[in-house]
Every structure is written in C-alpha cells, then in structure tokens.
Amino acid sequence: MNVLLTGSAGFIGSHIAAALTAAGHRVRGLDLRPDGLGAAPADARDAAAVARRLAGVEAVCHQAAKVGLGVDVSDLPAYTSANVQGTAVLLAEMARAGVGALVLASSMVVYGEGAYACASHGPVRPGPRPREALEAGRFEPPCPRCGRPLAPGAVGEETPPDPRNAYADTKLAQEHLAASWARATGGSAAALRYHNVYGPRMPRDTPYAGVAAIFRSRLLNGEAPLVFEDGGQRRDFVHVRDVARANVLALERVAAGPPEPGGVRAYNIASGEPRTIGAMARALAAAAGGPAPVVTGGYRLGDVRHIVARPDRARRELGFSPSVAFTDGMAEFAATPAEMPAEMPAGSPVTSS
C-alpha cells in the first residue's frame, strides 16, 4: 500500500515510517523538516504541496500537529492554524485525489479528566480543578454533586469528550473534521487516541516532550526529577514502537473498509497498565542511576488529575496489544540519548510524531 505519512520526521512519525516499511508498505513523507524519505520539506497547510504528495497514494497517516497544552487564549491562533487548518487542507485534498483511508493521531486529552465514580452518585464528570484547591494541595477532584472523594477509573472510547486546553480543543476538532470528510466522501477513518508515549528519539525541551522526557533531561544533568502535585496522578505510559505498530494495524484496517460507517472509529492506544507520575519518576531515576525524585507540590492549570484508558477496542478490532513492558521500556529510555528538537520556522507547526 502507498501511504502518505504527515509528521514523518518527528518522534512518533519516524517510528511509524520504519514500521510501515517493515510491513511491506511504501511510505511518502510530508514534514517541515527533512525526514529521510526523499521528499523536500513541506507544510501540511500548503494545498499544492499536499496535492503533489497525494498523487498515487492509497491511504494517509496524519501525525503532524502543533503540540503541548497551550498557555492561554493567545495560543489559540497558532494551534488552530497548524492543527485545524492543516487537517482541513489535507482532507480537502484527499477528497479531490480520491484517497479514502485515513488514520489520525488523536490524543487522550480529548477526554479531559478521566473516569470517576462517587459512592453516592455513581459515574460523574468533575469540572476543572480550581486554582485555590490546587494551591491548598487539594489535588483530587471532588464529586460535583456532593463534594465527596471520588474513585478514579478508566475511560473507554464511548466516554464523552471534555477538552480542557487549546491542544485538546484542536485534537477533537481534527476528529470532527475527519468525521465530516468520511460522511461526505464515504471514506474510512480511525482516530488513535494516544496516551503518554515515550521511547527512543523522544525530543527534549519541547512542548511535546512530556513528563518522562523532562525527568530524563534532569537526570542526564545529574538533577532530581521534580514531580508536580503529590505524585499521585495516574497516567498510562505506552512505548513508541507499540504506537507505531498500532498505526500499521489501523491503516490496514481502514484500507479494508470503514470501521465506523459515516464517521470515525476511535481507539485508545495505551498499555492498559496505569502508573502514577511518582512511580514513573522513581522507575526512571532507578534505571538512570540518578537522584531520587523530589515531590514539589507545584501544579499547572489545565492539567488533569487522572487519565487512564481501557484499550479493549484496539485489542479486539485491530489486534493491538502492547509488547514493551514498562520496566524494559523505561530502562531503554533512560539509556537513550535525548534528542534536541530541530529549529523550526517561526509560526510553524511542531510535528507531534
């Protein structure tokens, strides 16, 4: 299969390119940076460049995006330009070229806070945590009806979206645009909602670097990882090679026909084994032989407390299951040199993949 891969020079995209090639597919890249696939750099918002790349393509794997949470509303134009406009241009050109199969890199951030249950009121969706609660060290979101403590659970794909920041807003917008494209063209689309991806070639000191890369950068400098809140935040850490394999499986699935008639089929791409941020920091510090983490009590507005997933749908429908164990992956990650992010033109989207 001939595949156009956007974000092909990035962290996840470079692994997807290798996985697709190993599976016998032919990969054509589109990225603002050289990607080793032979094409000149190009912007996903450039309709003419996208049209040229789509010639002879049978499926698209869309990974390019500006990433990070966004700081405030002044970030909205940059995020919407890169993520929403870039996706809209791509989909419009796919429709013109008659390309009918799409895999979209989405994210767990579309869910907002994860799944919670109240002993009195059952499943509930808490709102954003207020600054005054975070400053007072009250990190767990209370029941929005009675104020009592909640029990965190795992989100399934049927969980209603509740984005909490600029990046999350645009990732959900990408899913909506893909659904509109699928309905209008009869195309087949899957949205892979990545959880916390880590592994070789993960950049440092960029918005996407994530907590694992930030901790590793400090350890490489002989400094202790600084853990926000109380370290009890629950996340799901999934290795980049597993994410790349999930993309191959999803592309082969959508190329065979629509997994969700008239829309986009979402899949949680996760390990299914949640860990706390504190536990991850300790595992990484131990693997790196560095100083123990320091819990700071600090916080970031817009962060969620717990977000972990049920990956059952991906296992059942795509045949996906993670192959890299947490301890092995963290040991490899600790030993892998950190990559410096490439310099990007001002205003350019940062590839999320």
116 is catalytic: no
CA atoms within 13 A of residue 274's CA, in its CB half-sphere: 17
The one-letter amino acid code at 54 reads L
Contact between 212 and 333 under an 8 Å Cβ cutoff? The reply is yes
The secondary structure of residue 237, as a DSSP letter, is: E
The one-letter amino acid code at 41 reads P
> Residue 78 and residue 64: Cα distance in Å, rounded?
14
> Residue 82 and residue 67: Cα distance in Å, rounded?
9
Q: One of 167, 194, 198, 208 is an active-site residue; which one?
A: 167
The stretches of the chain forming alpha helices (DSSP H) are 11-22, 47-54, 76-79, 86-97, 131-135, 166-185, 210-220, 240-255, 277-288, 312-313, 326-335
> What value, to the nearest 5°, has the Cα angle with vertex 83 and ends 192 and 213?
65
Q: Which residue has the tokens 């996706």?
A: 87
Contact between 171 and 107 under an 8 Å Cβ cutoff? The reply is yes
Q: Which residue has the tokens 């494209």?
A: 181
**CB neighbours of residue 319 within 10 Å:** 12
Q: 3-state DSSP helix/strand/coil percent for the chain, to nearest 5?
A: 40, 15, 45
- Buried/exposed 2-31: b ≥16 CB within 10 Å, e otherwise: ebbbbbbbbbbbbbbbebbeeeebebbbbb
Which residues form the catalytic set? 167
